[in-house]
Amino acid sequence: MLTNQTNGTQSDPGRVILLMKASTYRARSFMEAARRLGIEVVQGIDMHPDLVEAWQAPLGLQFEEPEQAVQDIVAYARQHPIRAILAVDDSATVVATMAGERLGLSHNSAEAALAARNKYRMRQLLAAGEVPVPDFRLVDAADDPAQIGAEVTYPCVVKPLLLSGSRGVIRANNPAEFNDAFLRLARMLQRMQRVPDSTKILIEDYLPGVEVALEGMLDRGKLHLLALFDKPDPLEGPYFEETIYVTPSRLAGSIQTEIVDCTARAAAALGLRHGPIHAELRINEAGAWIVEIAGRSIGGLCSQTLRFGSDISLEELILRQAVGLEIESMNREDKARGVMMIPIPEAGLLKSIKGLEAAEAVPGIESVEITAQLNQPLMPLPEGESYLGFIFAEGQHPTEVEAALREAHRQLEFELAPLLLVL
């Protein structure tokens, strides 16, 4: 049993602020879980101040101005007492932590929340905590890529500091590729000048190996494993678009134990002690390596693959911990499940979708949810930050689930019109 140290009661779970971007995939799942628990939810939405009145948002915030956002949250909480503040996505984790600290709520430290967002600070703390990390260095986007490219070890990876979902992450195998990757990322960051640290680029050695994702819950610094996902598609670059997640993992038990241990040590090195975490790791001959660890739960609609105890969702677990309600079990159901994040093949306007019924008819497929809208401009990685949709499957064994996801994807056909033809 896991409970949070709050003054919450089973009969009065209280009010929770959910911090999110308007474009998040996650709002629906959290809202449904809150309704089941009788929790009142206030959505703290990242938006320009001029839009607050038009949207009639009870709590419009600017996550890129954390001090002001925290003041706004504290002012709201003085009039409307709250039990917890949760960040739905990466963009609000630091704001949620700072506000929680001001209000005396359970929270990670602001330093830990920042380290779980900032890839450079993360690498520094992992190295200081003797958690294996590749060689890394921080440079400025205005620096000379030719000079830097002559000094780095290949293959290497260039990364933005704060973006998530592999956005802006590019592999380079030689100086020419490095020059192209560096300049491409620099141009991308220049268009995002309001984002903190948008002039900085992290360069690190490429980590070979298979990749997994770990979903966990921290309680007073102790890591509780919720799920371990295999990523069966190779993620070797030049871009690192995630597609298939399948759980339970098919890796050997000893390797899974090493993965959990590495994640627990990484969380401790960053100072994360409370709430959900999502970690990405690489496993090779040298062992388990942390790619990233975030102080929030899994992104997109991927949480729909997870059910616990008596049909409890991941969002319900998170909310229960946040308000101090009892969690009877964090054991995942005894069934294999998986999700495919449908990749965007090329930039363009989505004009049509074919094969949806055939995809849903594939044995083992639970549902196909197309989240992209017709006539919506789409952009693949490394600049893009969305998917065409999600395919969900279940089965008795992970191999069955993976096969079903691939077959369903083969049934789908997306027509995209080149953007230049419709401008």
Domains and CATH numbers, the chain: 15-108 (3.40.50.20), 110-129+208-294 (3.30.470.20), 135-205 (3.30.1490.20), 335-423 (3.90.1170.50)
Alpha helices (runs of H) in 104-232, residue ranges in sequence order: 110-115, 119-128, 145-149, 175-190
Residues in the chain predicted with pLDDT less than 50, given as ranges, are: 1, 3-9, 421-423
354 with 318: CB under 8 angstroms? no
SS3 211: strand
Tell me the C-alpha distance between 186 and 142, whole Å: 8
What pLDDT was estimated at residue 421? 42
Type of residue at 96: A
What pLDDT was estimated at residue 25? 85
pLDDT tens digits along 352-403: 999 999 999 999 999 999 999 999 999 999 999 889 999 999 999 999 999 9
Distances (CA, A) of 192 to 139, 159, 326: 17, 14, 42
What pLDDT was estimated at residue 195? 62
SS3 30: helix
What pLDDT was estimated at residue 120? 97
What pLDDT was estimated at residue 232? 98
**Which residues are 258's β-sheet partners?**
none
CB atoms near residue 396 (< 10 Å): 11
pLDDT tens digits along 167-214: 999 999 999 999 999 999 999 998 886 666 678 999 999 999 999 999
Please tell me the pTM assigned to this model: 0.93
What pLDDT was estimated at residue 278? 97
420: Cα separation from own chain's centroid = 31
354 with 30: CB under 8 angstroms? no
What pLDDT was estimated at residue 199? 87
Q: Which residue has the tokens 């995942």?
A: 332
Q: 245 — phi, psi (to 5°)?
A: -120, 130
Tell me the C-alpha distance between 168 and 178, whole Å: 13
Q: Going by DSSP bridges, is the β-strand pair 307-308/312-313 parallel, antiparallel, or unpaired?
A: antiparallel
What pLDDT was estimated at residue 1? 47
